[in-house]
Amino acid sequence: MSTVAHKPLLATVMGERQERPPIWIMRQAGRYLPEYRELRAKTNGFLELCYTPELAAEVTLQPLRRFPLDAAILFSDILVIPDALGQSVRFEAGEGPVLEPVTAETIGQLQPERALEHLAPVFETLRRVRAGLAPDKTLIGFCGSPWTVATYMIGGRGSPDQAAARLFALRHPEAFAALMDVLVQTSIDYLVAQFAAGADVVQLFESWALNLDDEAFVSQVIDPNRRIVEGVRARVPNAPIIGFPRGAAGNIAAYVAATGVNAVGLDYATPLAFAAKHVPAGFPVQGNLDPLRLVAGGAQMEDRAHQIIAAFADRPHIFNLGHGIVPETPIAHVERLVELVRNG
Ligand SMILES: Cc1c2[nH]c(c1CCC(=O)O)Cc1[nH]c(c(CCC(=O)O)c1C)Cc1[nH]c(c(CCC(=O)O)c1C)Cc1[nH]c(c(C)c1CCC(=O)O)C2
């Protein structure tokens, strides 16, 4: 009889409090690591790296060779979905992603029927990572949530206030609904295939959950995320799902109550006392150290990390940053943080 290895991070997502919080770091594979920069310099572009399973699997595992993290996260990007739908997506050095914006007229030209085949290398990456990962480590897959992906598809790039997409949703409600339908359905298929390829947990990155009034928050964030959770669970019963609605602020309780996610990621601007009060007792949380405290290190990092651990000591808690690690982060600070979370 084979025994299934205990995965502390997966167990925490499923509602089991651990002796010490398991830890992973958003964007843990990336430019703060010299071995990532070295490998990246040998590729022709960021998307090529995402679509080359041998290299993407290697990059996924790099942070786990350095730090005793509890999870690996698939190395890919949320913008492989628009790319798979046939939209032009480029990553310009120093500029971030640049897309050819969709319009009310061109949304009908997206090609959801070709998306999964285009994403086949991602599933191969997951199978390779699974094979190279210790049995007690959790493998996290992910996708961008529909609203966040739509902000890039409509605006053509990142923006401080997502004005282009917010206005589009108000002026072209039917075209916007059609776009969200395509994104919801493609994301369900994509996540189901990630589970089939070995993911233990998936995270929905709703990085632009801010700047929405509460009506738009329901229609643009809560409803699409709930549809994804329901659609995935219809095909993968009890699928473990973390939602990360960055900037949800006062909408956090509604997000938790209505989407059906198992655990909620908190951004670093969410007050600890607010989260403790408004996320129901016993509900798993993830977060939420300011990434700049990890850059600064020392007492600024350590004291706050202890506060976060204490604030969530009475519930299942996954330690993480409140947003992605930044390239300037010293590796020694990451070592110290992981050590502190594991051993105090
Ligand atoms: C909004 C968003 C994107 N991508 C992602 C989000 C949601 C999370 C968040 O809010 O940070 C998610 C993402 N992007 C990447 C991962 C890999 C897994 C991980 O280690 O967490 C994940 C989970 C790799 C990446 N995605 C990107 C890089 C850097 C590209 C490079 O190596 O040149 C990496 C390692 C590029 C990217 N991709 C995106 C932007 C805005 C940029 C440019 C900004 C930047 O460079 O940091 C879109």
- Sequence-distant (6+) residues with CB within 8 A of 86 are 109, 110, 111, 114
Report whether residue 8 contacts ligand 1, using a CB cutoff of 6 Å. no
Residue 93: per-residue pLDDT: 81
Residue 2: per-residue pLDDT: 47
Q: Domain holding 207: CATH number?
A: 3.20.20.210
Ligand 1 mean position, distance from CA 242 (Å): 18
With b for 16 or more beta-carbon neighbours within 10 A and e for fewer, the 98-116 pattern comes to ebebbeeeebeebebeebb
Gap between the Cα atoms of 205 and 97, Å rounded: 16
Residue 94: per-residue pLDDT: 81
Report whether residue 64 contacts ligand 1, using a CB cutoff of 6 Å. no
ipTM of the complex: 0.94
Residue 95: per-residue pLDDT: 86
Residue 5: per-residue pLDDT: 77
Catalytic residue, chosen from 20, 40, 90, 342, is 40
Report whether residue 27 contacts ligand 1, using a CB cutoff of 6 Å. yes
Which residues form the domain of 84? 4-343
Pocket probe mutation, ligand 1, options 33, 43, 77, max atoms within 8 Å of Cβ: 77
Mean pLDDT for each 10-residue chunk of the chain (344 residues)? Answer: 78 97 98 97 95 98 98 98 98 91 98 98 98 97 98 96 98 98 98 98 98 97 98 98 97 98 98 97 98 98 98 98 98 98 94
Q: Give how many domains the chain has, as a whole number.
A: 1
